[in-house]
Amino acid sequence: MQDDVWGPLFIFGVAILIVILFSSFKGLNLGFRLWGLPPLGKKNRETLKKYCRFYNELPANERANFEKRIQYFIKKKTFIPRSIPQVTPEMKILIGATAIQLTYGYPNVYLTHFKRILIYPDNYYSTINKVYHQGEVNPLNKIIVISWNNFVRGMINNDDGVNLGLHEMAHALRLENIIRNNEFNFIDKKVLDHWEYLAGQEILKLRNGQESIFRGYGATSAEEFFAVAIENFFERPDQFKSYDTTLYHTLAQLLKQ
């Protein structure tokens, strides 16, 4: 073989190797994503310690990974202030932490479809449905909308089963699972079917006015029940477990947590 063939051949080989690494090995792929992200910083870590129960309850050796995943999430999203002067680092960290808390069992899921996160100061008037909202997830516009006051209230009162951030992220998670992209169809179908069956029974209970630990809003639809159940899963795990062990463990399986 002539000398001048080796150069292009080498470049070709390296290119193939890069393609393999980035497309085939998800673990490595993840490693590449998180590799090289700057440290979270003392102030941001203090924010997490102050507001994020999940972070405080994580084993010490998993916290660095959690922090990296938050940073990657923040890097991939565009945060847009609405009726507030700017989006603060604290807002980004806590919204990111909420997303990563929910997707913790899925290290490759970053709710990719939802590219933009809009932040309002408080309840906002939706020109689409002509009502006031605390938050919403809009797959057509690829946005997650959060009202900051309600979001913070949910994080501070972390054991009442009401958490706006987790609620909206739960909607985003279910939608992400059915939107065809690189994060499509990650939830185990069998577990999801089992969940839907059990959730349907619980929704009936709520609609019939029977006693339940879930708030009545969960009876609105399967999507709303899922979001309400997620709030309880993280904020009141013991009550949830003793109320209905099977339902709790099915949700734990679904989240891989």
Q: H/E element holding 132?
A: strand 131-133
Report the nearest approach of Zn ion to the CB of residue 168 (Å). Answer: 7
Stretch touching Zn ion by CB under 5 A, among 34-42, 56-64, 186-194, 225-233:
225-233
Least separation in angstroms between residue 144's CB and Zn ion is: 12
Sheet harboring 135-138: ordered strands across? 78-81, 116-120, 143-147, 135-138
Q: CA-CA distance, 22 to 18, in Å (whole number)?
A: 6
Please, which residue, 107 or 218, has the CB nearer to Zn ion? Answer: 218
CB of 24 to Zn ion, least distance (A): 37
Gap between the Cα atoms of 194 and 134, Å rounded: 30
Residues in the chain: 257
Which 8-state DSSP code applies to residue 62? G
Residue window 165-204: x/- pattern of binding to Zn ion, with contact defined by CB under 5 A: ----------------------------------------
Q: Provide the minimum distance between the beta carbon of 30 and Zn ion in the complex, in angstroms, as a whole number.
A: 29
- Beta strands of the chain (E only): which ranges? 78-81, 116-120, 124-126, 131-133, 135-138, 143-147
Does residue number 227 form part of the binding site for Zn ion (CB under 5 A)? yes
Which listed range, 28-36, 37-45, 60-68, 216-224, lies at the site for Zn ion (CB under 5 A)? Answer: 216-224
